[in-house]
């Protein structure tokens, strides 16, 4: 018997129908792939193009914002230490403000670009975005109601930085606290009080801001002298010492105007007050006032003008009333007064002689 006859007589382990079904399924899969491969390729290329454009655009925008912030910081450092730098904000304040603005802009740009790219990718997959956007809107509203204080603090911090209401180194009165600004954030501002304490003030709680370090400050000194002093001599002494102070360092930079004697602020029976004022660099009024008091006191002493509260002069001592130290007359000075008779001891009784 030949080999072909034996093979023909041997029963097959697999049915013929299974082979035919497998061949049919393979043909259907190949046809389905052949029909849809162009769609897959176009969708994949579209997604890759969207992601590539989003990443490139995000990189370029963030780099442009970083270069802009660096240029602003370099321009601030260029004028630092010059005469123009005294009129501008210091470099640290400009740096922190520009860094905060740059961080906000970079975050907003990244969120918008990547969020738009994600929606475009979902759209490329033929996904209906209407329910997704509606759900995101509802979630955003719920989050806004739940975290309204946080959102209020953040938005207040953004507008505060953009409007340059205050910065690091400024002395401000925020209503709930006052002191020197040591750190500015988008949610919290840190202040150092007069006694060294640190206040953490939420930006959303600040309803008003009084900035004592912007523009210029005013130094005011009240000089109280006796009413008998010559006002022209007082004015001349104050003006002379003020002119000498304006020519010395560092007061020549801190004084932004001449020291003016405004005139009499108050006239009383035992004193009169002369008002002295000067325009100073922001935040330097306290130091200028102390130096002015020091120099005015020395100038008045050299001119022989006595201020109220100092030791009296020899003329004032000699002109004192000599009867001021004499006590008032007493009722006991007269021996016949009722007080004297009442205080006189009773004499002992006398014996009668027999």
Q: Say how far apart CA 202 and CA 188 lie, in whole Å.
A: 5
Both structure tokens of 1: 């018997």
pLDDT score for 60: 92
Residue 275: predicted pLDDT: 92
Tokens encoding 88: 């501008």
Predicted pLDDT of residue 68: 83
Q: Give the separation between CA 200 and CA 309, rounded to whole angstroms.
A: 43
Kindly report the backbone phi and psi dihedral angles of residue 261, in degrees, each rounded to the nearest multiple of 5, phi listed first: -90, 105
Structure tokens at 241: 């010492």
d(CA 48, CA 2): 63
DSSP alpha helix (H) spans, the chain: 3-9, 16-79, 91-124, 130-146, 148-163, 231-246, 251-254, 285-302, 314-318, 338-343
pLDDT of residue 56: 93
Beta strands at 210-211 and 198-202: parallel, antiparallel or unpaired: unpaired
In DSSP notation, 27-86 reads HHHHHHHHHHHHHHHHHHHHHHHHHHHHHHHHHHHHHHHHHHHHHHHHHHHHHTTSTTTT
Other CB atoms within 10 Å distance of the CB of residue 227: 12
Q: According to the model, what pLDDT value does residue 103 have? A: 75
What pLDDT is attached to residue 341? 65
**Which has the closest alpha carbon to 142: 134, 283, 242?**
134
CA angle 275, 279, 281 (to 5 degrees): 140
Q: Peptide bond preceding 250: is omega within 30 degrees of 0, i.e. cis?
A: yes
Percent of the chain scored above 70 by pLDDT? 70
Given a contact cutoff of 8 angstroms between Cβ atoms, the answer to whether 245 and 259 are in contact is yes
How far, in Å, CA of 219 to CA of 259, rounded?
A: 9
Which residue ranges in the chain fall short of pLDDT 70?
A: 1-17, 23-24, 26-37, 75-94, 96, 142-146, 309-354
């Amino acid at each position: 018997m030949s080999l072909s006859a034996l093979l023909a007589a041997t029963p097959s382990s697999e049915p013929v129908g299974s082979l035919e079904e497998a061949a049919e399924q393979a043909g259907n899969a190949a046809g389905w792939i052949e029909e849809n491969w162009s769609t897959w390729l176009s969708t994949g290329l579209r997604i890759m193009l969207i992601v590539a454009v989003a990443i490139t655009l995000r990189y370029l925008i963030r780099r442009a914002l970083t270069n802009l912030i660096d240029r602003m910081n370099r321009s601030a450092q260029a004028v630092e230490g010059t005469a123009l730098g005294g009129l501008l904000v210091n470099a640290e304040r400009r740096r922190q403000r520009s860094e905060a603005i740059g961080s906000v802009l970079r975050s907003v740009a990244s969120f918008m670009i990547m969020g738009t790219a994600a929606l475009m990718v979902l759209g490329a997959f033929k996904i209906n975005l209407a329910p997704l956007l509606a759900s995101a809107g509802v979630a955003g509203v719920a989050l806004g109601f739940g975290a309204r204080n946080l959102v209020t603090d953040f938005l207040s911090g953004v507008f505060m930085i953009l409007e340059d209401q205050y910065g690091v180194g400024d002395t401000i009165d925020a209503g709930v606290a006052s002191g020197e600004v040591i750190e500015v954030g988008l949610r919290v501002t840190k202040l150092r009080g007069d006694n060294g304490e640190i206040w953490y003030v939420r930006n959303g709680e600040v309803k008003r801001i009084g900035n004592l370090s912007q523009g210029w400050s005013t130094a005011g000194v009240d000089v109280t002298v006796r009413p008998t002093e010559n006002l022209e001599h007082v004015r001349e002494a104050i003006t002379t010492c003020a002119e000498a102070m304006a020519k010395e360092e560092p007061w020549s930079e801190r004084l932004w105007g001449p020291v003016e004697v405004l005139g009499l602020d108050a006239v009383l029976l035992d004193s009169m007050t002369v008002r002295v004022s000067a325009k100073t660099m922001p935040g330097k009024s306290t130091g200028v006032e102390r130096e002015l008091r020091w120099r005015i006191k020395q100038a008045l002493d050299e001119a022989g003008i006595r201020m109220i509260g100092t030791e009296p002069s020899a003329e004032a001592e000699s002109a004192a009333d000599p009867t001021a130290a004499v006590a008032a007359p007493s009722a006991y000075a007269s021996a016949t007064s009722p007080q004297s008779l009442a205080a006189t001891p009773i004499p002992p009784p006398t014996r009668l002689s027999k």
